[in-house]
Amino acid sequence: MTVSGKNKALWSLIILLLISAFASAFDVAIIGVKPYTTSQWTDAEKISGTLYKTLGDVSSEVNVLTSAQVTALIGDRRVFLESYSGGMPQVPKVDAVVIGEIVPQGNSYRTTLRLYNLLSKESIQYSLVGKPGDLDKNLANGLAQLLKTNISNEHKVISASGQTVNIMTTGLGVFRGQKFNVYREEQPGDPAFLKYMKSSLIKVGEVEITSVNGKMATGRIIKQDPYLRIRAGDSVSKLGVVSFGTLEIDSNPRGASIFLDGYFIGTTPITIRNVPEGTYHLRFTEPQSSDHIEIVRVTGDAVTRVYVALPEKPGQLTVTSNKPGELYVNSVKKGTTPLTVTLPKGLYRLELVVPGYPTQEQSIWVTAGMIAPVHFSISGPPAESYFTSSPSGASVYLDGQFIGTTPLGPYYVEPGYHDVKMTLTGWKDHTQRLLFTSGKRENIDAKLQLPPGTVTVYTNPSRATVLIDGKVVGMTPLTYTEAGPGTVTLEIVKEGYRSIVKTFTIYSNERLVFDETLERKVGTLIVKAENAKDADVYIDGKPYGKAPLELKDFPEGTYKVEIFYGNLASRSRVSVRDLQTTEHSVNLVPYSLLPNVEKRLTLTMGIDVEDSPFIIGIAGSLPVSKNLTLRGGIDSYGGDFGGGYGQYARYTNYEAGLDMYGGVVGVFGLGRFIIPTVGDPYSIFSGGLAFRIYNPDWFAFNARVGISYSDTIAPHWEVELHSKMGIPYLVFGLKMGSSPRGNFETRFNIGLTF
């Protein structure tokens, strides 16, 4: 499609209108960096792209034009730069331009960036010596810091008339459309707030710049204090200064004392003017009410109203009793006397429960803010107690003190819980904890039992579980002192061994000893490879010989059986049962057909940490045998830095390689073919040592270290971990290592495993 001259003019007008519509107070056009050699265009573009990112974050008032907008103003940027001979470039419709150049200096190069204020004809510059492509971040950050400093500079009002002010500026940091604070150094009239002022600067107004001529600027007043007003000598900058507001404070009940950040300011109701803008803590105190803290934000030139309904203070009960007991308030347990209970104003029912005595009750009114004492007096007759035993003649102990022999009674016991023990030679002690109730008759009758026997159990091997009458009592070697008397069943159990069960009679105080040798649970395992003779057999990763293979007296359990013959293999789970013959016969298949976490196809995403391009690609690996794995992939490195020449930093990486292991350690080889978007393709070859720790059913960890060669020799390293994470057919991975350009990259992988 062709475009007429009239249409071209129309499109140019539309583009300029769009630039005007999206422009903020400070419009900056980044033209770019003029390289010294043709090969430096990529480095120049990288610097331009970093400038776009960095200057765009300097200030909300700085608008960095896009590449398309700059092209609409100056035409082809590369042509513009090639013809640039220094000095301030003429670019209409913007406030400032950034342009740079690379020139030789000794054995290196000096890169200089300049920002020109096209209104005031002032400029700032930042230079560094070194390889241009490695200086992009430092150059951009240095220029941005200079720009920030100039934007925050202080300027002075030299005259004010009506709604117009004239300002003396520093020349660079003032642009049309910018808004500034105007302030002066004074002290506020209310001394109560001097302690809250962060400085003695008081905001008197705000202005907006309407024009700039050199170091002189004109602005219109958009806001000013009606009493202070803007005048000559006032300072102008982006500096945040204190504004004042008004606080109106009231409370219920009134008369509460008010403390502002701990400083007493009066009682409610109260109105305070000239309060510096900020956040304050107001504390309300009143004799009959609980203290209250309110966080208040005071806004300049506004009235902030605070009203607080103060909660009543609770009352307190101090509860005591001549005997400790559990206190209940309205049927809710509060604790053991003596104690203090805090309660809201009101009528409450108190209950005190002392074991063995009748429950005591009181009703009491709690007054707000008052402390009231409450006392319970607990009394009652003792319990009349009688102690008997079968057989009789047992010694009776009450709370550890001997009180007589059975039959015993009446014996009067203080109400409450007591420990009772009866002992008789040749019989097992009888113990129990009993509640004796005031005024009641208590009959305590003990049926004495003969003492048990003792069983000691030894096993070979030890650490077998012992059960007495079906109850687990410990692990061997073991002495159990509570057996019988009578018929007892002993069972000995250990994983992988045959259980032993014995039933016997044990008498009171008899000691029996059992010393048992446990028999291993074993079976016979036969392994055959139908289509391969002399195949290597591995069980749980250990070599056991060649198939066909018969293993007698093989321990019971489930094992991973692997059979290898060249590139043919089999991997299965086989269970061996006690006293049974298990035959495992398989046809070997190519190793690459077996499920394996190393057999995968994944999507990879990541970044090159040094150059920050986004990486996306596809990677795959295929184990040909247990010692040889092939791998390959295709990756796109997207290096558009935002300045218009991103194609110089983009490339596609094709790679293929292999890992050959002899156990954990092996060697690797890798070939990479790089196709840049702009420039000639080239190859990189890498090789060195490889390390692998893996379980084919679960995870694979690989590490490789060696050298790479293209035009020069460079180190090469990779570390990667892939795992199924318990999810069938899915594999997740993390990889770090050298990128094709020799930098450090990191990636996340997700894909399928078969």
The count of domains in the chain is 8
**Rounded Cα–Cα distance for residues 286 and 274 (Å):** 26
Collapsing DSSP states into helix, strand and coil, what is residue 611?
coil
pLDDT at site 130: 92
- CA dihedral sign, ordered 556, 561, 565, 568: positive
- CA dihedral sign, ordered 68, 73, 77, 79: positive
Q: Are 569 and 589 in contact (CB under 8 A)?
A: yes
Q: Quick one: 283 and 144 in the same domain?
A: no
Q: Quick one: 289 and 319 in the same domain?
A: no
- State pTM to two decimals: 0.47
Here the CATH number for the domain that contains residue 61 is: 3.40.50
**Rounded Cα–Cα distance for residues 512 and 532 (Å):** 58
Here the CATH number for the domain that contains residue 613 is: 2.40.160
pLDDT at site 649: 58
pLDDT tens digit string along 460-501?
Answer: 999 999 999 999 999 999 999 999 899 999 999 999 999 999
**Average pLDDT score over residue span 547-561:** 94
Q: Are 47 and 136 in contact (CB under 8 A)?
A: yes
Single-letter amino acid, residue 482 = E
**Rounded Cα–Cα distance for residues 137 and 131 (Å):** 12
pLDDT at site 199: 58
Q: Quick one: 546 and 668 in the same domain?
A: no
Using CB atoms within 10 Å of the CB of residue 24, give its burial: 0 to 12 exposed, 13 to 18 middle, 19+ buried: middle
Give the position of tokens 């991973």: 560
The pair of three-digit structure tokens given for residue 145, joined into one six-digit string: 């810091």
Listed residue (20, 29, 25, 173) closest to 88, CA to CA: 29
Q: Quick one: 331 and 274 in the same domain?
A: no
Q: Quick one: 22 and 140 in the same domain?
A: yes
Which domain-ending residue is among 376, 394, 418?
Answer: 376
What domain range is 231 assigned to? 155-237
Listed residue (140, 137, 136) closest to 126, CA to CA: 140
| Cis ω before 461 (30° cut-off from 0) | yes
Q: Quick one: 304 and 334 in the same domain?
A: no
pLDDT at 193 over 90: no
Residues whose CB is less than 8 angstroms from the CB of residue 165 and which lie 6 or more positions away in sequence, other chains included = 157, 159, 182, 207, 218, 219, 220, 221, 230
**Rounded Cα–Cα distance for residues 55 and 51 (Å):** 6
Which domain-ending residue is among 578, 593, 608?
Answer: 593
**Rounded Cα–Cα distance for residues 672 and 652 (Å):** 10
Listed residue (468, 430, 434, 469) closest to 450, CA to CA: 430
Query: Angle formed by the axes of helices 5-22 and 67-74, to 10°?
Result: 130
| Weakest mean pLDDT among 5-9, 17-21, 35-39, 389-393 | 17-21
Q: Quick one: 498 and 532 in the same domain?
A: no
Here the CATH number for the domain that contains residue 325 is: 2.60.40.1120
Confidence of residue 200 (pLDDT cuts 50, 70, 90): low
pLDDT at 5 over 50: no
pLDDT at 19 over 80: no
Q: Quick one: 513 and 526 in the same domain?
A: no
Using CB atoms within 10 Å of the CB of residue 315, give its burial: 0 to 12 exposed, 13 to 18 middle, 19+ buried: buried
pLDDT tens digit string along 572-582?
Answer: 999 999 999 99
**Rounded Cα–Cα distance for residues 28 and 51 (Å):** 11
Confidence of residue 191 (pLDDT cuts 50, 70, 90): very low
Which domain-ending residue is among 500, 517, 534?
Answer: 517
Confidence of residue 747 (pLDDT cuts 50, 70, 90): very high
The number of beta carbons lying within 10 Å of the beta carbon of residue 213 is 11
Q: Quick one: 616 and 745 in the same domain?
A: yes
Q: Which range, 21-30, 295-304, 499-508, 646-655, is most confident?
A: 499-508
Torsion angle of the four alpha carbons 23, 25, 31, 32, in this order, in degrees rounded to the nearest 10: -120
For residues 197 and 166, the model is more confident at 166
What percent of the chain is modeled with pLDDT above 90?
A: 62
pLDDT tens digit string along 259-313?
Answer: 988 888 889 999 887 677 888 999 999 888 889 999 999 887 788 999 999 988 8
Q: Are 102 and 108 in contact (CB under 8 A)?
A: no
For residues 35 and 229, the model is more confident at 35
Q: Quick one: 614 and 681 in the same domain?
A: yes
Confidence of residue 27 (pLDDT cuts 50, 70, 90): confident
Q: Quick one: 388 and 335 in the same domain?
A: no
Q: Quick one: 15 and 139 in the same domain?
A: yes
Residues whose CB is less than 8 angstroms from the CB of residue 38 and which lie 6 or more positions away in sequence, other chains included = none
Residues whose CB is less than 8 angstroms from the CB of residue 639 and which lie 6 or more positions away in sequence, other chains included = 611, 613, 646, 648, 649, 650, 651
- E strand or H helix at 202, and its extent? strand 201-213
DSSP 38-102: GGGHHHHHHHHHHHHHHHTTS-TTEEEPPHHHHHHHHS-HHHHHHH--SS----TT-SEEEEEEE
